[in-house]
Amino acid sequence: MASQGTKRKRDSESSDSSIESPLTTVSLETLSTSDEASMIRDIISKINQMDKVNRKATIGIFGKSGEGKSSLLNAVLGKADLLPSGCFGACTAVVTRVEANLEDSKYIAEIELFSKEEWEKELKDLFTVLSDEDETHELFDNAVEKITALFGDDAEKKTLEELKKVDKFAEIETFLSFSKKISKSDVSEFTSEIASYIQHSESSPGDWYWPLVKSVTIKIPGCHELLKHVAFVDIPGTGDCSKIRDDKWKSTLRECSVVWIVSDINQAITNEDSWGILKQCTTELGPGGECKRINFICTKTDDINPPAYIRSARLTRDQLTGDKDQDKTVCILHRNEHAKKRVKGKFEQSHIKKIFNTDNDFQVFTVSSKAFFDTKSNLEPNETEIPNLQDDLRNLNEDITRELTRDNVNKAKGVLYLIQSVQPDTDKETVKMKDQFKESLMKALNELDSRFDNIYSVLEQCLSKGVEKAVKLCVASTKAMIVPNNGRGFHQTLRTLCRNGGRYFPKSRKKLLDLNKALAENLHECLEEDFKQIFPVSGQTGKSVQEEIDKFSVIQSDSADFRSSTLNHIQKFIKTEETKLKALLNREVVEMKKDIYSSIQKTIENEMASCYEKAVAITGPGSMKKRQELIITTVDEKKQDMFNKAKNEVLKKFNNLKLYIKNELESGLKKSMKLSLSQSSKIIDGRLQRD
């Protein structure tokens, strides 16, 4: 629960009493306890901070290389050349985050580089791959690409020792020790400067830095309406075998609340890559993440051969005009309609829909980024559908603004009720209120406890089934992954898999090999259905943790229970504080559930770690076979213990979640009650007199 602790700490840190405003002139010395003082400061500071609070939804853009992801993002943001596109071969080399610069009118890039140690390890790995005879393996190509991008042509033919002597080597070492930030007023200057950090290009080898980059964040000015509450992540179409890059990729997926799948319209149905990439990520996005919506975006709609299309779609004369240009538009729009129907149909049938649980939140767009910028195009701007996507973005921003406004109104209401609650006028009623409060708090907490225990039992049952299944099937699934029928070139793959702690990330993400994920699969599968009900990414299921939190209340009715209007104000204050607390907890639950879900695979990873290390150390003739045997024997020996540990870890984390929620509700509400019943009048009186 450490992460939640930190989060909370940050909240109270932000309520620094040094923030000056008319409200902070309240004399805080009049308070008797530090608790109360800190709570008042907290409330005042939160009111002052209302405008500054920002919440962002992350939109992940997925798709094969060359499908038009970066061009699409440029079009949606109305900045034709912001992100590099249209290179020969793969173009975007690193995960690129794009968000608004809300501070000034500069274009800013914050570049996260490898640490010196990480780079040394990566370089050593690259040279191990290069020393291998097998030049046909994609790992070999990947290593050559990186070394030549940084050190120039033929650098890969040098040994690591030789390379260490060239000037560029020392230059790179120094380069890595500084954090990198680019800030420019002019967009084209900015674009050319960032290119060497995010763009993959075969021209001018030796001038590129992308192999050293973990990720890039770009902040652009003047896009408040589209980006105030949204951050885009342009995810490169090709993978990278580096573990560091892949970990970044995975953690980005868990953040996405919206996904855009991008596919060239001509292959939208048959394109197994776009669907395949998505399939690979469903665990991280769905149960392990927070994805609520998917937009499938067919790109390059302007790219059409009208005579061929008329023939294949059997368009009749009635549908055509006889004018060449107009008929091109007819064909484009006809194909758009057709693609929308087909893609929707495919999604309805797919396993992806089941995992995401998105009944209404799947939309198909058919866009042309090129025509959007081309004033002479056959397509009207709205026929390029880029404006539709912009509207979609505006709606998402407005939804978040509304959510923040609701939170802010609640915060303001809390303070108003507190101000109205002057010293209780009859002691008897105060005592009655205190007693009632204590009693209903205990009752509500007990009820919550038992409802959480029911959820715990559901989880326990699913996981026990999963353990049983995993124990039965794990050896076979291990063999299926690490002893392929065609073993040619596999020893490189297996060695990399062991070096990366059980994972191998090929360039095409479709064929990802992740032994830990495969071992966790049966547990995930048995858990999936109930987990979705317990932690839905949106909506109500009747069984969710979020709904249990919502049901919790210490104030049973909205009606006035007390003769004194003061006590009724206090009651309203507590209710408002309770609503705020529950909204915050519901947001924290999303992070906790990601942690719970991913703990299955993490436990397996940890259990298998020493086996992978031993396997990497095996050298000499027959090493591949020895590695395979070692892994299979380890899985077989550890299976019972390993899967039970994974199960217990989930249950332990769920129990911690329960304790955390109960504790936050109890301490938060007691604090509010204490504050409203004790010194509030003094503070308010003091402030009113001063004003």
Ligand X SMILES: Nc1nc2c(ncn2[C@@H]2O[C@H](COP(=O)(O)OP(=O)(O)OP(=O)(O)O)[C@@H](O)[C@H]2O)c(=O)[nH]1
Point out which residues bind ligand X (CB under 6 A). 63, 65-71, 85-86, 90-92, 236-237, 299-300, 302-303, 368-370
Q: How far is the CB of 64 from ligand X (least distance, A)?
A: 7
Q: In whole angstroms, how close is the CB of 71 to ligand X at the nearest point?
A: 3
Where does this chain touch Mg ion (CB under 5 A) — which range of 91-99, 371-379, 566-574, 602-610? 91-99
Residue (of 512, 469, 598) closest to 241 by Cα position = 512
Q: Residue 236 or 506: which CB sits closer to ligand X?
A: 236
Name the residue nearer to ligand X (CB basis): 65 or 148.
Answer: 65
For the CA atoms of the chain, what is the radius of gyration?
A: 29
Q: Measured between alpha carbons, how far is 274 from 235 in angstroms, rounded to an integer?
A: 12
Cβ contact 98:191 at 8 Å: no
Which one of residues 15, 58, 70, 384 is an interface residue with Mg ion (CB under 5 A)?
70
CB 252 within 8 A of CB 233: yes
Using the minimum distance from each CB to ligand X, give the nearer residue, 5 or 89: 89
Q: Which residues pair with 376 in a beta bridge?
A: none
> For residue 647, which of 635, 655, 637 has the smallest C-alpha distance?
655
Nearer residue to ligand X within complex by CB, 200 or 503: 200
Nearest to 43 by CA among 686, 689, 683, 542: 683
Residue 524: contacted member of ligand X, Mg ion, none (CB under 5 to 8 Å, by partner type): none
* 3-class DSSP assignment, residue 111: strand
**Distance between first and last Cα of the chain:** 43
Sequence-separated (6 or more) residues with CB below 8 Å from residue 235: 60, 61, 62, 69, 95, 249, 252
- 146's contact among ligand X, Mg ion, none, with CB below 5 to 8 A by partner kind, is none
- Taking the complex as a whole, the smallest distance from the CB of residue 191 to Mg ion amounts, in Å, to 13
Q: Quick one: which of 367, 403, 550 has its CA closest to 57?
A: 403
Contact partner at residue 300 from Mg ion, ligand X, none, CB < 5 to 8 Å by partner kind? ligand X
Give Cβ neighbours of residue 656 (< 8 Å, ≥ 6 apart): 1
Strands (E), 128-225: 180-184, 213-220
Binding of Mg ion by 92 (CB under 5 A) = yes
User: Residue 352 CB, nearest distance to Mg ion (Å)?
Assistant: 23
Nearer to ligand X, 295 or 516 (CB): 295
424 binds, among ligand X, Mg ion, none (CB under 5 to 8 A by kind): none
CB of 210 to ligand X, least distance (A): 11
Q: Given its phi and psi angles, is residue 357 left (phi above 0), alpha (psi -120 to 50 degrees) or beta?
A: left
Between the CA atoms of 450, 455, 458 and 464, what dihedral angle is there, to the nearest 10 degrees? -100
- Binding residue count for Mg ion, defined by CB under 5 A: 4
Q: How far is the CB of 508 from ligand X (least distance, A)?
A: 12
Under rule CB under 5 A, residue 93 binds Mg ion: no
Q: How far is the CB of 17 from ligand X (least distance, A)?
A: 48
> How far apart are the C-alpha atoms of 88 and 239, rounded to whole Å?
17
Q: Does 263 bind Mg ion (CB under 5 A)?
A: no
**Closest to 596 in 3D by CA, of 535, 537, 644:** 535
What distance in Å separates the CA atoms of residue 515 and residue 510, rounded to the nearest whole number?
15
The listed partner (ligand X, Mg ion, none) that binds 68, CB under 5 to 8 Å by sort, is ligand X
Which residue number, 365 or 643, has a Cβ lying nearer to ligand X?
A: 365
Of Mg ion, ligand X, none, which one sits near residue 299, judging by CB under 5 to 8 A according to partner kind? ligand X
Work out how close the CB of 65 gets to ligand X at its nearest, in angstroms, rounded to a whole number.
3
DSSP secondary structure letters along 226-240 = HHTTEEEEE--SS--
Q: Which is nearer to Mg ion, 198 or 673 (CB)?
A: 198
Nearest distance in Å: CB 198, Mg ion? 9
Q: Considering only residues 40, 91, 310, 567, which one is a binding residue for Mg ion as defined by CB under 5 A? A: 91
Residue closer to ligand X (CB basis): 259 or 589: 259
CA–CA gap between residue 225 and residue 19 (Å, rounded): 28
Nearer Cβ to ligand X (196/420):
196
Residue 89 or 345: the one with the smaller Cβ distance to Mg ion is 89
Q: Which residues bind Mg ion (CB under 5 A)?
A: 69-70, 91-92
